[in-house]
């Protein structure tokens, strides 16, 4: 199968085709640009490609949907994997066109797994959850401005903006709940996840939005790696360093898992006992919280795999 490496930018999409002859193409990052790319492939007698691109949120996913609907195989990979592959090639050139070529070579050499598109309900949920997160960040900025000195002349404007944001956040919360309730699969998963004490609506919705096929991971360890809460050991000679989260995983999952870990330590007897044991062994507070985050991932994976709600006696 022919290979298509794609570097997705905000305005343009740069592509490199590895077929009988190498070819490159740049199109606008719009639906019309997607159609031009499909026409370009057809004119080159290419009916099906293995297209590979970096995970860049909505920028890459819209193109992925388009290509998959037209019969192409699509892979969306972590940018860190592409970067590591480029380092192995001693790549020095950094341009959009060069990146497309690098991604194409990565795809040919590594044969990454095909991307499984979310269902329409999962796609809607992801958009709602990400929009809510953006509004939460905007509200935090406004609250910080309100608390800062020298804002008395714009205090009303700030308070009005906070009120507007809170209204929109409330509306999104209702939309998120309805989206999950209207889909039997999402509703079932949500109820199982929230059976774990300490995990509430925001965490469960984020888990479902960011990992729509969460129960299809090979193991809880693979899911923890996706979230970026696996220990990372670095050793060189006598120098040893250990970090407890990585930048390779999903940042949004780590964010909600951190808050859930704090809540679970207070409200979940199993988690509290687990944390107490770690504390007795001399673990530092940060190590304990990250360990709880991993433990929650294991529990989430367990309830979804078994399709049984959380049982503290079994845990």
296 contact partners, CB below 8 Å, separation of at least 6: 196, 198, 199, 257, 260, 261, 264, 271
Residue 124 pLDDT level (bands cut at 50, 70, 90):
very high
Instruction: Summarize pLDDT for 172-186 with one digit per residue, the tens.
Output: 999 999 999 999 999
Structure tokens at 84: 């590591």
CA atoms of 308 and 18, how far apart (whole Å) = 47
24 contact partners, CB below 8 Å, separation of at least 6: 14, 15, 16, 17, 97, 100, 101
- Which pairs with CB-CB distance under 8 Å and at least 24 residues apart come from 83-88? 85/109, 85/110
- In this prediction, residue 240 carries a pLDDT of 47
Find the helix packing angle between 120-147 and 201-210, rounded to 10°: 130
Q: Is the pLDDT of residue 103 over 50?
A: yes
% residues pLDDT > 90 (the chain): 70
CB 102 within 8 A of CB 91: yes
- In this prediction, residue 205 carries a pLDDT of 97
Q: Is the pLDDT of residue 126 over 90?
A: yes
- In this prediction, residue 83 carries a pLDDT of 86
Question: What is the mean predicted confidence (pLDDT) over 94-104?
Answer: 90
Instruction: Summarize pLDDT for 28-86 with one digit per residue, the tens.
Output: 999 999 999 999 999 999 999 999 999 876 778 889 999 999 999 999 988 888 888 98
Instruction: Summarize pLDDT for 242-274 with one digit per residue, the tens.
Output: 555 555 668 888 999 999 999 999 999 999 999
Mean pLDDT of all residues belonging to the chain: 90
- In this prediction, residue 234 carries a pLDDT of 52
CA atoms of 255 and 293, how far apart (whole Å) = 10
Rg (CA), the chain: 23
Question: What is the mean predicted confidence (pLDDT) over 284-290?
Answer: 92
- In this prediction, residue 248 carries a pLDDT of 63
- In this prediction, residue 315 carries a pLDDT of 54
Question: What is the mean predicted confidence (pLDDT) over 229-241?
Answer: 56
**Is the pTM here over 0.85, yes or no?**
no
CB 305 within 8 A of CB 228: no
Structure tokens at 115: 């991307």
Question: What is the mean predicted confidence (pLDDT) over 206-233?
Answer: 81
- In this prediction, residue 238 carries a pLDDT of 57
% residues pLDDT > 70 (the chain): 92
Q: Cα angle vertex 225, ends 222, 228, to 5°?
A: 160
CB neighbour burial string for 164-173, b if at least 16 within 10 angstroms, e if fewer: ebeeebeebe
Question: What is the mean predicted confidence (pLDDT) over 89-111?
Answer: 88
268 contact partners, CB below 8 Å, separation of at least 6: 196, 197, 198, 312
- Strand bridging mode 232-236 / 22-28: unpaired
């Amino acid at each position: 199968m022919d290979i298509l490496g794609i570097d997705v930018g905000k305005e343009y999409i740069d592509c490199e085709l590895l077929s009988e002859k190498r070819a490159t193409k740049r199109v606008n990052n719009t639906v019309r640009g997607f159609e031009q790319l499909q026409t370009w492939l057809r004119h080159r007698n290419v009916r099906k490609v293995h297209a590979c691109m970096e995970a860049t949120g909505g920028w890459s996913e819209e193109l992925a949907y388009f290509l998959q609907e037209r019969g192409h195989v699509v892979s969306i990979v972590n940018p860190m994997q592409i970067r590591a592959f480029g380092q192995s090639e001693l790549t020095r050139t950094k341009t959009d066109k060069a990146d497309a070529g690098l991604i194409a070579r990565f795809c040919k050499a590594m044969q990454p797994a095909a991307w499984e598109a979310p269902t329409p309900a999962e796609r809607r949920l992801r958009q709602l959850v990400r929009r809510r997160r953006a509004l939460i960040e905007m509200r935090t900025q406004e609250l910080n401005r309100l608390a800062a000195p020298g804002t008395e002349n714009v205090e009303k404007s700030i308070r009005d903006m906070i009120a507007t944001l809170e209204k929109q956040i409330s509306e999104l919360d209702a939309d998120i709940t309805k989206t999950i309730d209207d889909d039997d699969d999402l509703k079932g998963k949500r109820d199982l996840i929230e059976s774990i004490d300490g995990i509430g609506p925001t965490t469960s919705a984020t888990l479902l939005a960011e990992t729509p096929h969460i129960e299809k991971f090979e193991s809880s360890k693979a899911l923890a790696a996706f979230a970026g809460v696996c220990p990372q050991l670095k050793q060189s000679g006598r120098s040893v360093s250990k970090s407890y989260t990585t930048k390779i995983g999903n940042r949004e999952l780590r964010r909600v898992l951190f808050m859930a870990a704090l809540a679970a330590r207070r409200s979940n007897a199993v988690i509290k006992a687990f944390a107490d044991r770690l504390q007795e062994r001399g673990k530092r507070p940060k190590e304990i919280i990250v360990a709880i985050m991993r433990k929650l991932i294991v529990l989430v994976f367990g309830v979804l795999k078994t399709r049984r709600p959380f049982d503290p006696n079994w845990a």
